[in-house]
Amino acid sequence: MFNRVVLVDQNNNEIGTEDKLDAHKKGLLHRAFSIFIFNDNNHILLQKRSDVKYHSAGLWSNTCCSHPYNDKPLVEYANTRLLQEMGIQSNLKEFFSFIYRAEFSNGLIEFEYDHVFFGKYNSDPILNNDEASSFKWVNFKQLQLEIEENPTKFTFWLKKIVKDYSKYFINYENNNL
């Protein structure tokens, strides 16, 4: 596992690499991915981030997320990380990407070019406790309601994805893409 991230420009062109923690301290734009796993009932698998995570610890988030390195295709990193964090193998497909920036109370800054993948899986995960402390399955409308009622219980990027990119979830549910 690399402790470096790939720095990118606003068009996702690689411009270098940086130590992961230094990139978050300096607020440098870097490549990331977020994974959403759905079951056949179109419920989304959420994870509660481990209490030992360096930011956003103990918050509910999407199924899995991380940073790829530039030595293999992004989807390979996503699949590898999904297996490491959640014990899940799925046929992931990238649906969209976006840029977000968030500053945290511990001084770290997430400034990410985030690639969002969807996949299917119908069993409960096998959690890596260093990454996730719990999980739950929710439908999209329930997730929207929970975020609206208790926004402090969810990661910044999950709230942004649910709010700004809801059409992808609705289309996925309706068409089972």
Catalytic annotation, pick one of 64, 85, 110, 112: 112
Residue 110 appears among annotated catalytic residues: no
pLDDT in tens, 114-155: 999 999 999 999 999 999 999 999 999 999 999 999 999 999
The full set of domain ranges for the chain reads: 4-175
The pLDDT of residue 1? 46
pLDDT, mean of residues 44-71: 93
Does residue 176 register a pLDDT over 70?
no
* E-only strand ranges, 1-92: 4-8, 14-19, 30-38, 44-49, 60-61, 64-66
Architecture (CATH level 2) of domain 4-175: Alpha-Beta Complex (3.90)
Q: pTM of the full predicted structure?
A: 0.95
Upper half-sphere CA count for residue 57 (Cβ side, 13 Å): 11
Does residue 69 register a pLDDT over 70?
yes
Residue with tokens 């985030």: 114
Q: Please provide the average confidence, as pLDDT, over all residues in the chain.
A: 94
pLDDT, mean of residues 34-52: 96
pLDDT in tens, 87-110: 999 999 999 999 999 999 889 999
Catalytic annotation, pick one of 65, 85, 110, 131: 65
**CA separation for the pair 2, 102 (Å, rounded):** 23
Residue 64 appears among annotated catalytic residues: no
